[in-house]
Amino acid sequence: MFKNYFKIAIRNLLKYKVYSLINILGLAIGFGCTILILSFIQNELSVDAYHQNRNQIVQAYLKGTRDGNTNYQSTVSPYIGPMLKTEYPEVLDVVRVYGLQEVAFQVQDKQILESNGIATDPNVFDLFTYRFITGDPRVALSEPHSMVISRSMAEKYFGSTDAIGKMIRVEDRYDFYVAGVIEDVPVNSYTTFDYLIPLNFLRELGLDIEGRPYFPCSYLTYARIRENTSLAQLNAKVSERMLSEGEEITFDIELKPFSEIYFFETGGKTRLAVMSLIALMILALACINFINLSTARHMVRAREVGIRKVAGATRRLITIQFMGESLLISLIAAGIGLLMARGFLPVFNQMMSRPTYIDFTNPLFLTGLFALVLITGILAGLYPAVFLSRLRPVAVMRRENQRKGKATLRKVLIVFQFVLSIAFILCTLIIDRQTTFLQNFNLGVNKQNVLYVPMEGEIRDHYRGVRTELLRLSNIVRVSTGSRLPTAILSGSYFEWGVRDNVGRRICTTFTDYDYLKTFDIQLAAGRYYSPDFPDDARNSIVVNEAAVRKVGLESPVGKPFPFDGQDYTLIGIVKDFHHNQMLSQPPEPVAFRLSPDANDFMFIKIDPGIADAAAISATVQDIEAICRQFSPKRPLRYEFYNDFSFDRERLQEVIRLMFTISTALAIFISCLGLFGLTSFMNQQKTKEVGIRKVLGASVRSILIVLTKDIAKWILLANVAAWPLAWFAMHKWLENFAYRVSLTIWPFLLSALIALIIALLTVSWLAIRAATANPVESLRYE
């Protein structure tokens, strides 16, 4: 019996190749997407889950409230940790973590820049779960010059993990010994590092590791709290002690559960929600296709059901046959989907910049997938199983001849598919416009041909010499320094400035040398910028931007006194507002430009803007490297082009755009598969009708119109439903941006047009084929 069923299932698949292909391909794509995204979600949920104390750990956040807006910062003062431990009995243990800058390591003749290290309290291994290969976690960080390194680092420097007691020379000044080797920090960690040194060591660098309540805020601070502690009560007590209310801003410390940190920091929950939604929609599209096409096919097979009943088949057997058939297809699709997901995993990982694994052993994943296959298969087989099997044989067979009537459900589903597709097209169009808008936004800063180089070591020490040499190169027009890139002047402080009224106002400060503005073509609104011709500039001049002047309401202030943080300066110039904050999330704020003529954090090198040729630019970069090597032979130059610089949020934006573009393509593709399948199926039914019409003298054109009229109607209907949906979603999304495109009618009309054209193209070649077919042929077909 089952052999008979299987045979007929396979023959049906092969006989209706197009239908089978569409069905399986569409469903496989849906499954593939879902598998990828399910895996991604599962990976995201597993981040940091391996720490055994996970549920007892909290992290201290600096909470700043201004104008009713609350901001959280993960780094707090080193003061907070010990305070929590000594003053609150609920707090059992505290660990502070300081992220280290890039540091030069040397072991014998191996010299490597290490960028991923932390300085931390010695009890770090009590709180967090890291596996030691060698060494004793209790004492590994007890000496200021002890160090714990990862397996890969040990193997890199010493060829094996047997590294205890071996020496590492750091920055050519400090000698550390290896006191422990741990397994590499798992990739599913929010914070990863290659080595740890004791926090105490920072004293030798002149860092303040005692601090004051709100200074210096640069330490991550974790605490293990007693089980069953009410975090809300603890936070209330901490606030009582820590709350500091200023004029403009209120500071506080808030403890957050460690298990929520990853999503809190990355905004990952929204991302997960959006991705799940996308996956769900694509899956829905694919399943609708499958169900739609299967049902359509099964209608035709009504006769088979009837004959089988006459031959003695019971309802149960018919149910088994058709359910089995659709389950088989669903299973094949799941297999192909799995292969697709595996194939696209590298691309996907690159896109999401997080490693995702498809974990076949995970029971959750397996049951999820299995349930999906089952549900889809059952839904698709439901029609023949429940409906056809119930009818009397003669009634079933007759049903075949009544095909025209009740396709309402299928039409509704097709329209629904197009609603989703059109909404996808619309969102993509709008996201694309917004992204382009942001990219082309005139920031007031020229990033073209500017290299930025972090200043460190000898380059910093011999900056003047480096600068002189660089400027000798004919292709280099300017060399300057500053503490920040002009579009990354983000952190502000609160104090009295501009007017003496004892009010603390927020202002962002950056240190620059004389040529900073010229390097980036930033314009002055009034006065002048710092100049070596005015020796006084170094002592008592100051430059601010227009926003600062507006904020304190000064009129023609150039040349007048300008109080700043308790000192008196003369305002010598006003810089035109440019967008110094990340991603245009808000309009320009007050910015003060302070003079620091020599050493700053970054050196900016402007190559002649006339040079656009990549080869010429890279030749110039090589010249720059050669010069820097003369000054700093051991340390390779690190540089980046300003144009390539982007914030996480900008990258996220790109990812969103890419994701929507891909999803839209998939959505349209799947919907068109469905439309194609269904039309080809309907045409098949209409073949006879078309044949007769032609025999009676109908023109090809009139037949085409009959065949495509419906589709156009459906698409228009779908637009009506899709527009408000997309409008609402995009309206919400755009609210995230201080500068955004307005929602005009054009993307809406465009998406309608795109959908209509694609749909008509899909059906028209089928229609043309049907309309031009030889009538005798099509009549014989019946």
Partner 1 sequence: MIRLKGIEKYYANKFVKTWVLRNIDLEIREGEFVTIMGPSGAGKSTLLHIMGMLDDFSGGEYYFYDSPVHKLKERDRTKLHQQHIGFVFQQYHLIDELTVYENLETPLLYKKVKGSERKSLIADMLDRFNIVAKKDLFPNQLSGGQQQLVAVARALIIHPRLILADEPTGNLNSEQGFEIMELLKKLNDEGTTVVQVTHDEKKAEYGKRTIRLLDGWIEKVKS
Residues in contact with partner 1 by the rule CB under 8 A: 1, 4, 7-8, 11-12, 15, 303-304, 306-315, 317, 390, 392-395, 397
| Tokens describing residue 508 | 């962002």
Q: Quote the CA–CA distance of 466 and 464 in Å, as a whole number.
A: 5
Quote the least distance from Cβ 692 to partner 1, whole Å: 19
Q: Which residue has the tokens 């004492």?
A: 139
Contacts with 146 (C-beta within 8 Å, 6 or more apart), sequence order: 140, 176, 177, 178, 179, 197, 198
Quote the least distance from Cβ 323 to partner 1, whole Å: 17
> What are the C-alpha distances in Å from 345 to residues 38, 337, 362, 460, 672?
12, 12, 17, 43, 25
Quote the least distance from Cβ 390 to partner 1, whole Å: 8
Quote the least distance from Cβ 306 to partner 1, whole Å: 7
Cβ proximity to partner 1: between 393 and 465 the closer is 393
DSSP code string of 484-552: S-GGG---EEEE-BSS-SS--EEEEEEEE-TTHHHHTTPPEEEE----TT-TTHHHHEEEEEHHHHHHH
Identify the three-state secondary structure at position 188: coil
Tell whether the torsion through CA atoms of 575, 577, 579 and 580 is positive or negative: positive
Quote the least distance from Cβ 405 to partner 1, whole Å: 13
Contacts with 118 (C-beta within 8 Å, 6 or more apart), sequence order: 97, 98, 99, 100, 191, 193, 195, 196, 197
| Tokens describing residue 491 | 């952190």
Residue 255 has, within 13 A of its CA and on its CB side, a CA count of 28
Q: What's the gap between Cα 294 and its chain centre?
A: 37
Q: What's the gap between Cα 550 and its chain centre?
A: 36
Identify the three-state secondary structure at position 596: coil
Contacts with 425 (C-beta within 8 Å, 6 or more apart), sequence order: 664, 668, 751, 754, 755
Cβ proximity to partner 1: between 252 and 325 the closer is 325
Cβ proximity to partner 1: between 8 and 488 the closer is 8
Quote the least distance from Cβ 30 to partner 1, whole Å: 27
Cβ proximity to partner 1: between 164 and 773 the closer is 773
Quote the least distance from Cβ 387 to partner 1, whole Å: 14
Cβ proximity to partner 1: between 41 and 397 the closer is 397
Please report the beta strands in 443-489, taking only residues with DSSP state E, as ranges in sequence order.
Answer: 450-454, 476-482
Contacts with 4 (C-beta within 8 Å, 6 or more apart), sequence order: none
Quote the least distance from Cβ 757 to partner 1, whole Å: 37
Terminal Cα distance for the chain, rounded = 29
Cβ proximity to partner 1: between 49 and 395 the closer is 395
Cβ proximity to partner 1: between 166 and 398 the closer is 398
Quote the least distance from Cβ 1 to partner 1, whole Å: 5
Cβ proximity to partner 1: between 4 and 367 the closer is 4
Q: Is residue 150 within 8 Å of 183, Cβ to Cβ?
A: yes
Quote the least distance from Cβ 8 to partner 1, whole Å: 5
Q: Which residue has the tokens 């004959």?
A: 307
Cβ proximity to partner 1: between 281 and 313 the closer is 313
Cβ proximity to partner 1: between 112 and 395 the closer is 395
| Tokens describing residue 493 | 């402080």
Quote the least distance from Cβ 291 to partner 1, whole Å: 21
Q: Is residue 136 within 8 Å of 165, Cβ to Cβ?
A: no
Quote the least distance from Cβ 680 to partner 1, whole Å: 18
| Tokens describing residue 375 | 């549900």
Residue 70 parent element (H or E): strand 69-73
Quote the least distance from Cβ 404 to partner 1, whole Å: 15
Cβ proximity to partner 1: between 46 and 684 the closer is 684
Quote the least distance from Cβ 392 to partner 1, whole Å: 6
**Contacts by 229-237 with C-beta closer than 8 Å and gap 24+?**
229/90, 231/58, 231/255, 231/257, 234/88, 234/90, 234/91, 237/88
Q: Quote the CA–CA distance of 305 and 299 in Å, as a whole number.
A: 10
Cβ proximity to partner 1: between 301 and 505 the closer is 301
Quote the least distance from Cβ 377 to partner 1, whole Å: 20
| Tokens describing residue 296 | 């359509």
Residue 254 parent element (H or E): strand 249-257
Q: Quote the CA–CA distance of 588 and 168 in Å, as a whole number.
A: 46
Q: Quote the CA–CA distance of 56 and 59 in Å, as a whole number.
A: 10
Quote the least distance from Cβ 311 to partner 1, whole Å: 4
Cβ proximity to partner 1: between 4 and 71 the closer is 4
Cβ proximity to partner 1: between 389 and 664 the closer is 389
Q: Is residue 389 within 8 Å of 319, Cβ to Cβ?
A: yes
Cβ proximity to partner 1: between 389 and 545 the closer is 389
Q: Is residue 605 within 8 Å of 449, Cβ to Cβ?
A: no
Cβ proximity to partner 1: between 119 and 299 the closer is 299
Q: Quote the CA–CA distance of 734 and 651 in Å, as a whole number.
A: 17
- The burial class, CB within 10 Å (0-12 / 13-18 / 19+), for 505 is buried
Quote the least distance from Cβ 407 to partner 1, whole Å: 20
Cβ proximity to partner 1: between 617 and 779 the closer is 779
